[in-house]
């Protein structure tokens, strides 16, 4: 069976030494997140993931969810008990507002815990992950009455939530949706239509499921301007808050799919189900985007989580598997062969995954902390800057972390040779599960277009200029000899990213295909620079801690410095190739007539 240990020490180093979580103590909830409390919470989360969720990962993959003739869906053996333990532990609402029963701790902690959950059991992690997104949307956009009705049970984990966007004839183009909402005169609407690919859309984990459904009210304008968000419970709510009569929403089927078998991907049929408006009529997308952005960050974390568990298993295998001799001569002459960890190409593979994981985790935590500022700060300028950061980095985190996270599971599988192809070691499941993250919540090509087409020019380029200025200032302020191996390559890559940004400004407006053809390269280029910035900060913190005499931690700190140097030397230089591809424009990409494909 695969192994997994939550990287608690790495998270604590990032929170305490790199990002200095104590600097956020003026924000609500942070004063309660003392170092000992955070360490205890993360330790317990890691234990739950290792002891409860990890053993169920293969069970869920083999058994999958089962759809019954009466429309019910049952989850794999052990999932229901594991979810009960999750809910009773208070994990769902760890960062939710105390007003509705949450603990009010920093959202950054929930993001970290979700990484642990994904590594241990991605299919299971999707049930609470989607609920947390639904909670966020209701908290921001729902009326006080709807919040009071639904949030306490959702925050407590008694009920789960979903996001209903996609229909059989439309995916990302939500202006084409056909699900209808007919007003009933009492504030409710009758919903009719079919939604597909609804993760966690039907299951037996909780007594009720709260669907957030995007639909069109009769007579609404065409396109996305005519969409409205509704809350539609599986069971209507009695006056005492308990689930009552079945609402007319049913599961027509669940998808037979490549991976994440333990999560039910449902076709949901609405046949006069009652729903209530969340936010404003014909303003459904802004309300849904709250949940979508939460989901996109969560999916980025899935890429990281799968990369981490794949790395841990590949590294352990490489230290045990005997095959061949080191190029410089036998390292274990008493054994019939050396472990494959001695081979440079195996090390290159493992170092590539490791260097990504540590920087990606930093990028996620940095962004999560900025999200806490955006939602909790009383300073309007701080909130604005943090919101800019979230808007800019969300497509990067979703696109880059899932693209590279999948690639890393494939590389980790390669370490096993033929053993990686069979199910016994679990590596092929990691590959299959990780693949979906590149597709849902907006395919990664859409994320790249969002970054180039919308986020760069938003508010006159305010967000991207703030990012450039922050990274540039860090490079300027840290030009010491010790930091040169990190800030030197970072400065070169930042300059190339700025060149690419200017090229789009000069060549993308008049000829939009230039922006479209270069958008994915730009997204990955931006991601590499952001990861490089994380490594520079990690290196600085490690050097400072070593200089202060970090007793017992020297080996781990020096390992971070070596890994950061590997990233700068072997991974960050890809920005030069990305710049060349971007500047080549769209001519060759768009030249072939469609019939020649």
What span, in angstroms and rounded, lies between the C-alpha atoms of 363 and 378?
A: 24
The 3-state secondary structure of 491-535, one letter per residue: HHHHHHHHHHHHHHHHHCCCCHHHHHHHHHHHHHHHHHHHHHHHH
Do residues 245 and 236 lie in contact, with contact meaning Cβ atoms separated by under 8 Å?
yes
Residue 220's Cβ-count burial label (10 Å; 0-12, 13-18, 19+) is middle
DSSP conformation class of 23: G
Pair of tokens at residue 417:
């040779």
Residue 185's Cβ-count burial label (10 Å; 0-12, 13-18, 19+) is exposed
CA-closest candidate to residue 348, choices 557, 576, 570: 570
What span, in angstroms and rounded, lies between the C-alpha atoms of 238 and 422?
A: 50
Residue 278's Cβ-count burial label (10 Å; 0-12, 13-18, 19+) is buried
Distances (CA, A) of 114 to 94, 128, 299: 11, 9, 10
139 backbone dihedrals φ, ψ, rounded to 5°:
-60, -40
* Max Cα–Cα distance, the chain, nearest Å: 83
Q: Render 378-439 in DSSP notation, one character per residue.
A: S-HHHHHHHHHHHHHHHHHHHHHHHHHHHHHHHHHHHHTGGGGTSGGGSHHHHHHHHHGGGT
CA-closest candidate to residue 76, choices 62, 97, 91, 88: 62
| 163 contacts: CB under 8 Å, gap ≥ 6 | 130, 133, 134, 198, 199, 212, 288, 291, 292, 295
What span, in angstroms and rounded, lies between the C-alpha atoms of 325 and 329?
A: 6
358 catalytic per annotation: no
DSSP conformation class of 165: -
What span, in angstroms and rounded, lies between the C-alpha atoms of 330 and 336?
A: 10
What span, in angstroms and rounded, lies between the C-alpha atoms of 61 and 516?
A: 37
Residue 289's Cβ-count burial label (10 Å; 0-12, 13-18, 19+) is middle
What span, in angstroms and rounded, lies between the C-alpha atoms of 378 and 136?
A: 19
Instruction: Report CA Rg, the chain.
Output: 24
Do residues 114 and 53 lie in contact, with contact meaning Cβ atoms separated by under 8 Å?
no
Length of the chain: 597
Per annotation, catalytic residue among 39, 358, 441, 569: 441
Positions marked catalytic: 441
């Amino acid at each position: 069976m695969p192994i997994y240990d939550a990287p608690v020490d790495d998270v604590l180093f990032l929170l305490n030494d790199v990002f200095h979580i104590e600097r956020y103590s003026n924000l609500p909830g942070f004063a309660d997140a003392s170092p000992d409390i955070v360490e205890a919470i993360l330790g317990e989360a890691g234990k739950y993931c290792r002891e409860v969720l990890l053993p169920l990962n293969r069970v869920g993959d083999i058994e999958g969810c089962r759809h019954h003739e009466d429309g019910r869906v049952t989850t794999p053996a052990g999932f229901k008990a594991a979810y009960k333990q999750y809910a009773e532990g208070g994990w769902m609402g760890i960062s939710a507002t105390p007003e509705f029963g949450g603990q009010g701790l920093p959202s950054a902690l929930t993001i970290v815990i979700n990484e642990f959950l994904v590594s241990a059991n991605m299919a299971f992690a999707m049930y609470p992950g989607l609920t947390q997104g639904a909670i966020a949307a209701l908290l921001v956009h729902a009326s006080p009455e709807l919040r009071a009705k639904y949030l306490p049970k959702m925050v407590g984990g008694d009920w789960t939530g979903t996001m209903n966007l996609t229909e059989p004839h439309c995916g990302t183009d939500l202006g084409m949706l056909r699900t209808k909402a007919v007003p009933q005169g009492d504030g409710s609407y009758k919903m009719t239509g079919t939604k597909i690919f609804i993760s966690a859309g039907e299951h037996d984990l909780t007594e009720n499921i709260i669907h957030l459904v995007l639909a069109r009210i009769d007579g609404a304008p065409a396109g996305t301007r005519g969409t409205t968000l509704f809350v539609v419970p599986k069971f209507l709510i009695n006056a005492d808050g308990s689930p009552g009569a079945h609402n007319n929403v049913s599961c027509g089927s669940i998808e037979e799919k490549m991976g994440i078998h333990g999560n039910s991907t449902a076709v949901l049929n609405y046949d006069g189900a009652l729903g209530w408006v969340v936010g404003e009529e014909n303003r459904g997308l802004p309300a849904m985007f709250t949940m979508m952005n939460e989901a996109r960050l969560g999916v980025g974390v899935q890429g990281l989580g799968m990369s981490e568990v794949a790395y841990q298993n590949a590294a352990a295998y490489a230290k045990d598997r005997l095959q061949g001799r080191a190029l410089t001569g036998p390292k274990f002459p008493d054994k019939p062969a050396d472990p494959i960890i001695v081979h440079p190409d195996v090390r290159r593979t493992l170092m590539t995954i490791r260097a990504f994981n540590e920087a990606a985790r930093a990028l996620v935590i940095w962004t999560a902390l900025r999200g806490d500022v955006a939602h909790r700060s009383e300073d309007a300028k701080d909130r604005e800057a943090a919101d800019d950061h979230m808007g800019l980095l969300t497509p990067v985190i979703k696109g880059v972390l899932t693209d590279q996270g999948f690639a890393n599971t494939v590389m980790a599988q390669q370490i096993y040779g033929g053993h990686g192809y069979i199910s016994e070691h679990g590596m092929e499941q990691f590959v299959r599960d990780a693949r979906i993250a590149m597709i849902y919540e907006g395919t990664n090509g859409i994320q790249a277009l969002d970054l180039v087409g919308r986020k760069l020019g938003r508010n006159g380029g305010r967000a991207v200029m703030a990012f450039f200025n922050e990274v540039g200032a860090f490079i300027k302020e840290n030009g010491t000899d010790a930091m040169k191996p990190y800030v030197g390559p970072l400065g070169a890559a930042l300059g190339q990213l700025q060149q690419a940004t200017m090229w789009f400004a000069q060549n993308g407006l008049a000829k939009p295909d230039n922006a479209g053809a270069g958008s994915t390269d730009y997204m990955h280029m931006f991601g590499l620079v952001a990861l490089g910035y994380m490594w520079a900060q990690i290196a600085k913190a490690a050097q400072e801690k070593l200089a202060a005499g970090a007793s017992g931690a020297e080996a781990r700190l020096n390992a971070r410095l070596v890994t950061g140097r590997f990233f700068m030397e072997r991974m960050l230089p890809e920005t030069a190739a990305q710049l060349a591809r971007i500047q080549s424009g769209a001519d060759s990409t768009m030249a072939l007539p469609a019939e020649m494909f």
